[in-house]
Amino acid sequence: MRHVVLVGLMGSGKSTVGRRLARALGRDFIDTDARVEASTGRSIRDIFAEDGENGFRDRESEALESALHTKVSSVIATGGGVVLRDTNRRLLDDHSVIWLRARPELLVDRVAGATRRGAGHRPLLDGDPLAKLTLMATERRAMYAEISDVIIDVDALAIEQIVRTCVDAVKELER
């Protein structure tokens, strides 16, 4: 089963775009971060605090593998760090991967807004969010590029434009 998988840094719009993209394509939507929270009964912030980043990454990998084994073609939104493990990148080889690429300066604003609205599960950004997002972007750039079939620069695009671009890309990839 070939799925559409959205990757990118936190705040790039994977979950928001993913829900709308799934609706536009008539597919199911899976959010791996939501699966991790549901399976553990804990927030991502709590998992990081209690089990550390490695504990979270283990659960993230399990959620990704489970999502990719779904028998119905789906749109899957991953966590921003899913690319950090070689095994996860290999799992994505047989799927349509779209990288929602955004500048760290934009992401800081988005993540800060989400935190104010109560979606503050971003433990990796504690301290200096811009510096940390910039470092993540640098460290992960090659990994995102390695696995991506399509790269969409989302900085200047409205959500509906991103969704339309994704729909067009998926149609092209699945020809």
Gap between the Cα atoms of 159 and 154, Å rounded? 8
Tokens 């399509």 belong to residue: 150
pLDDT for position 117: 42
4-28 pLDDT per residue, tens: 999 999 989 999 999 999 999 999 9
Contacts with 55 (C-beta within 8 Å, 6 or more apart), sequence order = 47, 48
pLDDT for position 123: 59
CA angle 132, 165, 167 (to 5 degrees): 115
Instruction: Kindly report the CATH number that applies to the domain delimited by 4-163.
Output: 3.40.50.300
27-58 pLDDT per residue, tens: 999 999 999 999 999 998 899 999 999 999 99
Contacts with 155 (C-beta within 8 Å, 6 or more apart), sequence order = 102, 103, 106
H-type alpha helices, 41-158: 44-68, 86-91, 104-116, 129-147
Of residues 133 and 150, more confidence is placed in 150
Amino acid at 126: D
86-123 pLDDT per residue, tens: 999 999 999 999 999 999 998 887 776 554 444 455 55
Gap between the Cα atoms of 108 and 97, Å rounded? 24
Query: Residue 8 burial (CB < 10 Å; 0-12/13-18/19+)?
Result: buried
Nearest to 2 by CA among 67, 58, 62: 67
